[in-house]
Amino acid sequence: MKAVVTRNLKAAGSADKPTMQAAAADASTQLQHMCALDIDSKASYVRLSGIICTIGPVSRDVAMLEKMMETGMNVARMNFSHGSHEYHAETIANCRQAEKNYSAKLGMPFSLAIALDTKGPEIRTGLLEGGGSAEVELKKGDTIKLTTDTSLSEKGNASVVYVDYKNITNVVKPGNRIFIDDGLISVICQSASTDTLTCTIENGGMLGSRKGVNLPGLPVDLPAVSEKDKSDLLFGVEQGVDMIFASFIRNGAALHEIRGILGEKGKNIKIISKIENHQGMVNLDEIIRVSSCVIISIISFIIITKIDMIFASFIRNGAALHEIRGILGEKGKNIKIISKIENHQGMVNLDEIIRESDGIMVARGDLGIEIPPEKVFLAQKTMIARCNSVGKPVICATQMLESMVKKPRPTRAETSDVANAILDGADCVMLSGETAKGDYPLECVLTMANICKEAEAAIWHKQLFVGLVNEVKAPIEQDHSVAIAAVSASNICLASAIVVITTSGRSAHLLSKYRPRCPIIAVTRHAQTARQAHLYRGVLPIVYQEAAAADWLKDVDNRVQWGLKFGRAGGFIKTGDAVVVVTGWRQGSGFTNTMRVIHVD
């Protein structure tokens, strides 16, 4: 059998075991750990972090998608800020065909997750007088009026520009700063009337039509889910997406709305919240609590296209997530919603958003406009840490290898940025324009995979494990006890892998929470469980397709052997190696309570 490449999983061609910074692993202090890091130490054969690739014009054909999977792509992201339903349906079909082709090439099922990234609630300028391609120059020190008068929505010029947020004149006060076009242009409000803000241009430049507007630090009251979002989410449910990346999540209510839209059919779709503004940070704990993982005109599309995940944009609170869930409905209840924290509101409500999401995305693009850029690293670290603490997956995104859109090698700063995201504790890292429109999509995936492996080896796992265990207060639930025991055993006996039999994926997710140094081979009969498991650090999901044996214990052993076969094919399990096996005591989901150590013969 050919080497299996789930997370760049290839036989190394050498009998030597990787050292994985072994000299630093048992250091007693952070300083000792850092001093012991060795640039000549071999990284693991296996990459534990997930790689999410945005699919665009340069990467949407079947042949290229196959190559990207072979190079290391785990999740294919569809950006619904661009493209029609027909365009995305065709891209999703190409992904599924490439998945089949690559599985046949490997000789065993390969799981590629599909994520839908929502456009989210946003503010934009109107059209200029010259049309969609026109530009006007805004000069520093000049006066410009921002108006909500719809009669001027297609008559913008250097003196007056339409803005599509009706309440902007009530939200913005004199002295407030407004950013336009990803922060390239900034103006300061001098006065406000019923429908117009009179502003002084602070930083000028060329302004085009339909540019984004950011109001950093201000409590924007945009609807959590637009009509377009609802349509797209429902379409995504029909397409069978695995995840929703919910943009600009401000609080937990937005996530409840998304879950309502997903409904019963999309109940298993992961919701990844994107924290993209200050509001999202304030509500961070709420958002994490409601999300599946931290990253709504899209909801109809999601149901139709059977997507696995939704990335919901500009989530500011938990209410937006409840709205998304409501739209997805019964048919989309399995879709996971990932909240994208992209503004100050999202940060304020962070804990609420985490609670309501299936995960979180650190969306550093708009977040870097909504909060001071020198604060972005603090937002990244606290979001990742809070997600790690509660066991929710977290994605780091935006400009990770931006220079590789046009160049075959990354800058040194980009290399460090990717590595530090992994060291911070990110489960996945994401490529945007690099793979959607760049000249070197395959080189980007390979570069990111190699950086991840080196960074994973440099993590101070000893201290990390202690910290994660200390977060769990006694009495510890049974499934957590088994997960902690399994990870502890894998560390002590230097296991090559943990093999876990899982139905819903929860057992594998719990093992991931406690961050073993070795890979977690999650064997499941359910394809969506396998696809969604790519969100979790260390989990290598494989689908077992053989008919169930009459004897349940024999069937469990068959699945364990399938996991060991996968590890052997990947080159990271060899004869004589210790492997930790985690199984249930009876058939069905929720009964995992058995851990044992075996030696491979």
- As a 3-state breakdown, the chain gives helix, strand, coil percent values, each rounded to 5, of 40, 25, 35
Inter-residue contact 194 to 92 (CB < 8 Å) = no
* Range list of H helices, 283-438: 284-290, 301-304, 319-328, 351-355, 364-370, 376-390, 412-424, 433-436
The CA distances from residue 194 to 161, 172, 180, in Å, are: 15, 12, 21
Question: 38 phi and psi, to 5 degrees?
Answer: -125, 120
Strand partners, 20: none
372-405: string of b/e by CB count within 10 Å (b at 16+)? Answer: eeebbeebbebbbebbbbebbbbbbbbebbbebb
SS3 call for 600: coil
Which amino acids are annotated catalytic?
A: 77, 124, 274, 398
The alpha carbons of the chain give a radius of gyration, in whole angstroms, of 24
Residues 6+ apart with CB under 8 A from 431: 51, 52, 53, 54, 400, 401, 444, 445, 448
Torsion sign (Cα): 254, 257, 262, 264? positive
Give helix 254-262 / helix 227-238 axis angle, nearest 10°.
40
Q: How far apart are CA 332 and CA 262, in angstroms?
A: 4
Closest-CA residue to 199 (of 189, 207, 208)? 189
Q: How far apart are CA 164 and CA 188, in angstroms?
A: 18
Inter-residue contact 41 to 19 (CB < 8 Å) = yes
Q: How far apart are CA 242 and CA 112, in angstroms?
A: 10
Closest-CA residue to 540 (of 516, 576, 575, 574)? 516
Q: How far apart are CA 482 and CA 465, in angstroms?
A: 14
Q: What is the DSSP annotation of 226-257?
A: -HHHHHHHHHHHHTT-SEEEEEEEEEEEHHHH
Torsion sign (Cα): 305, 308, 314, 319? positive
